[in-house]
Amino acid sequence: MTAIKGAPHLFLSTTHACSYLPNQTASTLFIDPRFPVTLDLLGDFNRRGFRRSGELIYRPHCEGCQACIPVRIPVEAFVPNRAQRRTQRRNEDIVVSAHPALFNSEHFALFVRYQDARHAGGAMADPDPSSYLRFLVSRHSATTFHELRIGAMLAGVAVVDALPDGLSAVYTFYDPSLTQRGLGTYAILWQIGEARRRGLPFLYLGYWIKESEKMAYKARFQPLEAYRNGRWSPLDAG
C-alpha cells in the first residue's frame, strides 16, 4: 500500500465496548482531528478503509479481531436481485431531491422518531440539534441531504458524501411507520443509480460485519468488493 502524501498523524483510542458484537471490546484508529483534510485526502483515506462520522475519520483497529470489513459496490456491475426489484417497484412514487447539509427542523424530527424506534438507548439517544449535525456533517466533506418524499410527506433522508471516485452512504433515516416499503434498501438502490448518473464507479457502504444483523444486510448487494490486506477484491460472503 502506497503512503498518502501529506497525511496527518494517526492515533489509537483506548479500548471500549464494541457497538456491534456482544461481549467484545474495540479500538479505533483515527486521524488527527486538527489536520486540515481536503476532499482528495478524504477520498484517499476512504479508499483505504476509513470512514467519516461527523468530523472523525476513523477505522476499527481491534486486537485479535478483523470482523469489520470495508465494502463498496462497483455500480456498473451491480444487478438488483428479485427482492430489490420489488422494493424499487414498491417505491416508484418516491421523489428524491437534494438539500444542503444544514439543520432542518423537519429532518431532525424524523431523525428523532427513527432513533427512538430503531436505536433506543444507542449513541444518538435523545439527540439535540447540535449533536445531530455533529454526527452527520463535516467541514471536510461534500455532503448532501437527499429527501425521499411521498407527495408532501417526508419519508426519509439519505445523507451522502460525494468523493472523487464515488459516493459514500453516510447515514439514512426514515419514517419507522413505513417499514414495509424497505426504505433502507431503496435508499441504497437510489444511491447506486445516482453514482451511475454522475459517472462515479463506486458506492461506499462502510463496514460489513457478517456476525452483526445490523451490518450483514450489505452482502445482499452484489457484486460487493471488500478491502482486505491493502487491496479491494470481490467479497465472498458465504
DSSP state of 116: H
pLDDT at position 4 is 57
Q: Is a pLDDT exceeding 80 seen at residue 2?
A: no
For 197-206, what is the mean pLDDT?
98
Q: How confident is the model over 37-77, as pLDDT tens digits?
A: 999 999 999 999 999 999 999 999 998 899 999 999 999 99
Single pTM value for the model: 0.92
For 188-214, what is the mean pLDDT?
95
Task: Report d(CA 43, CA 46) in Å as an integer.
Answer: 5
Contact (Cβ atoms closer than 8 angstroms) between residue 158 and residue 101: no
Helix axes 129-136, 105-118, angle to 10 degrees: 80
Mean pLDDT over each residue of the chain, to the nearest integer: 92
In the chain, the amino acid numbered 221 is F
Range from 7-16, 144-153, 195-204 carrying the lowest mean pLDDT? 7-16
Name 8's Cβ contacts closer than 8 Å, sequence gap at least 6.
31, 32, 34, 35, 37
Q: How confident is the model over 70-82, as pLDDT tens digits?
A: 999 999 999 999 9
- Grid coordinates in use for 209? 460485519
Q: Domains plus CATH for the chain?
A: 10-68 (no CATH), 79-206 (3.40.630.30)
> Could you tell me the pLDDT band of residue 1, with boundaries at 50, 70 and 90?
very low
Contact (Cβ atoms closer than 8 angstroms) between residue 161 and residue 141: yes
Q: Is a pLDDT exceeding 50 seen at residue 136?
A: yes
